[in-house]
Structure 1
């Protein structure tokens, strides 16, 4: 008799003893019926050799230091998003054999952004959002960049050891971008009519980067407004001087 079968017999005997002891006693314990046996996952083709390459290239886990970009006190709200994108474009053009983390997306129209700032007509760099994504109590910078053919690039940055570092970078035919807690959630067009892809990027303290921790294909449904259980990220055009909220007058 194997161990699993022996345990089943012991459970059955114990249940029978409870039934016998409870006869005629309306206040005694009663059996809830047979309990289904737990079944673990069955591994198929156990002799398959290990995979030799990643299943899909998300370009994840890579970070990139953006050279030449600083801010007083490492205040990321005082960083010009357009200057960041321009610095990365210049670094990529100067180094054809760039590191895996360097952006390979072709950005068109940066000249339309003007000397500073975003939000101008024709500028591909969208207004920045700020949110604490790694739980250290400081905001990270989230930048969206319009690309040709309806694509959108999404990049996240943080200051680490006084250096501005890109901790996430991806591009796709994105339908929407959301922030839930500390996750950046991208919804993108699926190749099946009536479905969409949804990928959640989360901070990984070991890799020191945002990783795609959940990837799903979902049936699309009518849009609903979920209850807000987390503080919303703030989106503001870049300003050289950060805005301040006036304090209440002293009593």
Structure 2
């Protein structure tokens, strides 16, 4: 086909296609767009706080003394030995009947090697690379007794030493691992809501930091009449307490 004729044919087809598209319905307006509202800064004359009101121990790590493994393989570490090392390094919390978690220390005698059943307070260990160095890290939990709290810990090897890079004690209803984060679910006094804490690995600080602290609805969807009241009741952040923070 000669080039002029082919060009004319293509042009005719394009015009026909454009006409057909117009007949089928072109772009339609979606209505008025809500006006963007920037955050309103309150009390600009207020002097900023110079120190945190609550101590979450962010940026702290702890070497677990006496815990080593061939090739820094965290799977070769005995979780029970790790918990015993923590108990030994924190006698004020575990040693003696006046210590808050004396029952945890007392029940450690019920833990055999790699044991996580019966009266032993040590829970099943999980392994995942949370630090992004290509090696698995250890996520460990154990019951804090007496009471209804669970200790959640994360350990990684650094230079042949097992280092605790996250510690959280709380009344735990669930724990998840997602990417470089540990997500802890905790019950709320408000029906159908729970607290959710997300600890995320920070490569600059070489620890896991508390990056999210929120209250979320987990029950059935509220009715329109109850929605406003429920959201206003749930809007304040949870008041931090020693049980909700790291040691």
TM-score (norm 1): 0.67
Matched, 1:128 2:125: yes
The equivalences for 1:203-242 within 5 A come to: 203-221=201-219
| 1: CA distance, partners of 2:219 / 2:76 | 39
Deviation at 1:165, TM superposition (A): 0.2
Deviation at 1:203, TM superposition (A): 0.3
1:173 counterpart residue number: 171
1:154 counterpart residue number: 152
Deviation at 1:58, TM superposition (A): 2.6
Matched, 1:139 2:136: yes
The equivalences for 1:176-191 within 5 A come to: 176-191=174-189
| 2: CA distance, partners of 1:193 / 1:30 | 44
Bigger proportion of residues as helix = 2
* SS class of match (2:173): strand
| 2: CA distance, partners of 1:212 / 1:168 | 9
RMSD between aligned residues = 2.7
* SS class of match (1:174): coil
| 2: CA distance, partners of 1:137 / 1:123 | 31
Deviation at 1:56, TM superposition (A): 3.2
The equivalences for 1:1-251 within 5 A come to: 38-93=36-91, 106=102, 107-108=104-105, 109-114=107-112, 116-148=113-145, 149-221=147-219
* SS class of match (2:151): strand
TM-score (norm 2): 0.68
* SS class of match (1:119): coil
Q: Given the superposition, is the C-alpha separation of residues 182 and 49 from structure 1 closer, same or farther in structure 2, using an over 3 Å criterion?
A: same
| 2: CA distance, partners of 1:105 / 1:203 | 28
| 1: CA distance, partners of 2:31 / 2:184 | 46
Deviation at 1:193, TM superposition (A): 2.2
> 1:22-78: CA deviations, max 9, x gaps?
xxxx9xx99998876644222100111121432433333210001111000000000
Deviation at 1:128, TM superposition (A): 0.5
> 1:70-103: CA deviations, max 9, x gaps?
000000000001111111211222xx6xxxxxxx
> Which stretches in structure 2 are left out of the alignment for 5+ residues?
1-21, 93-99, 221-247
> 1:135-154: CA deviations, max 9, x gaps?
11111000000112111000
- Contact kept? 1:60, 1:169, Cα under 8 Å: no
Deviation at 1:120, TM superposition (A): 3.5
Moved over 3 A (4+): 29-39
> 1:111-152: CA deviations, max 9, x gaps?
1113x2222321101110001101111110000001121110
Aligned residues: 188
